[in-house]
Amino acid sequence: RYTSKFADVFTVFLGIGGGGCVFKVENKLDKWRYAVKRIAVDPKNIDDALREVRAMAQFDHPGIIRYNCTWIERPPEGWQHDTNVEILKRMGSSSRRSVIKIFQMQFNDDCEFLYIQMQLCNYSLKEWLRENRSDSTRNLPRMKSWFKQIVEAVHYIHEKNLIHRDLKPSNILFAEIDHLKVCDLGIATERRIDEQTDTTITRTIIGSMLYLSPEQSSRYPYGSKTDVFTLGLILSELCVAITNRERSEIFDNFRHGIQCDRIQDSGTAKFIKKLTQVEPKDRPSCREMLDDLFLA
């Protein structure tokens, strides 16, 4: 009889669709709640799928989501479908809608499932931005504190010779009030840096289109400064409440060297301008950002 660690050890409370499925679960033994990410992978591509695991396993930083463990399951034909149906029955309607498309995907008979168990955070920066749509919620000292935590986490990633490449509010989570953590390191890549230019040979467009740097969207070589540009975009929406349509226009302007005139604080506007320079070489490193008086 086939046994599954995921089914045997955890009780599933919530599922979220995305680059796989992320489940909110409770361990039946220790009664602690975790997030478990499940990714369907072709056995030939297992090394690519393990990239996130290898990135997370080496990290020990208060600003990065805590990794617990990982395992691979190879269920017999039909077993996963039947299990998915049982999980869906136990979920609420809103959660069911969010994962049903993922569950309906047709997996190959030889498909394997990679499970990543990690720290559970119930709230994202994307949700906070959606629920706080007035400038009165943008207390500058508080926003700077949040942003500094994000920069410290990204600096740590860069110090590990990695680039995140997909920074965005949905990948920034609240572990508790005013304590943020960076997550979703699935496309973090090792960078081979030319010390003079800080560029890599990477040219692929990877990351969320809205938050791409100019060099990413143009398929130019890019390095750690691509994360810096995206940090500038995130800081701009921390400081100014914008609609989805405005966000798209403002971010596209940044990619073309046009600054946002809605940022009233001159120090903030000046700092964002540094981060969103079109040329990567003109942007500061995360270390230089942390040393800047703006984040002091």
Residues in the annotated binding site for ATP: 37
Q: 113: which 2 tokens?
A: 């499932």
Q: How many CB atoms lie within 10 A of CB 173?
A: 23
Burial code (b: 16+ CB inside 10 Å, e: under 16) for 207-237 equals beeebbbbbbeeeeebbbbbbbbbbbbbbbb
CA distances from 217 to 37, 172, 252 (A): 28, 22, 11
Q: How many CB atoms lie within 10 A of CB 188?
A: 22
67-73 and 179-182 strand pairing: unpaired
Count of residues in the chain: 296
* Long-range pairs, 49-53, Cβ under 8 A, ≥24: 49/114, 50/114, 51/185, 51/186, 51/187, 51/188, 51/189, 52/116, 52/184, 52/185, 52/186, 52/188, 53/114, 53/116
Closest CA relative to residue 143, chosen from 239, 269, 268: 239
Please give the helix or strand (H or E) that residue 251 lies within, else none. Answer: helix 244-255
Indicate the burial class of 155 (C-beta count within 10 angstroms; 0-12, 13-18, 19 or more).
buried
